[in-house]
Amino acid sequence: MREQAALKGERPGTGEWIGRIEVDLRNARDWSIGTLELEFAPDSVTAWFGARALAVMDRGHLREWIVHPRGTRFATDELVWSAQYGSTYVAIGWASEYRVGDASVRELTAVI
């Protein structure tokens, strides 16, 4: 039980939630193609795919985009977030775009 709490993070007495979440990425056939790991610090979010760090994002800017995507893209380093037809997508290195699973979007919205 303690290990799971460490993975999901803990909210300090004051300030932002810190910790890690795993985001399920899905292809056009809705098959899981991998996991994007997001590591939350008080002011930033680092995105990892396997052992590769893809982006270090400003937490406030990511929060604003997640809450109000308005059909725009949010690009940082090798990661591009987009919203289309009510779904959230992530492109790695401006290449293939993957849909973020619904449960992952809900969890991301809750902790951002």
Domain-by-domain residue ranges, the chain?
A: 2-111
pLDDT band of residue 6 (cuts 50, 70, 90) is very low
pTM of the model: 0.82
Inter-residue contact 54 to 47 (CB < 8 Å): yes
Q: Is the dihedral of CA 94, 41, 38, 106 positive or negative?
A: negative
Q: What is the pLDDT of residues 20-33, one digit of tens each?
A: 999 999 998 999 99
Whether CATH 2.30.31 fits 2-111: yes
- For residue 70, the Cα-to-chain-centroid distance in whole angstroms is 17
Distances (CA, A) of 71 to 8, 18, 53, 99: 29, 28, 26, 15
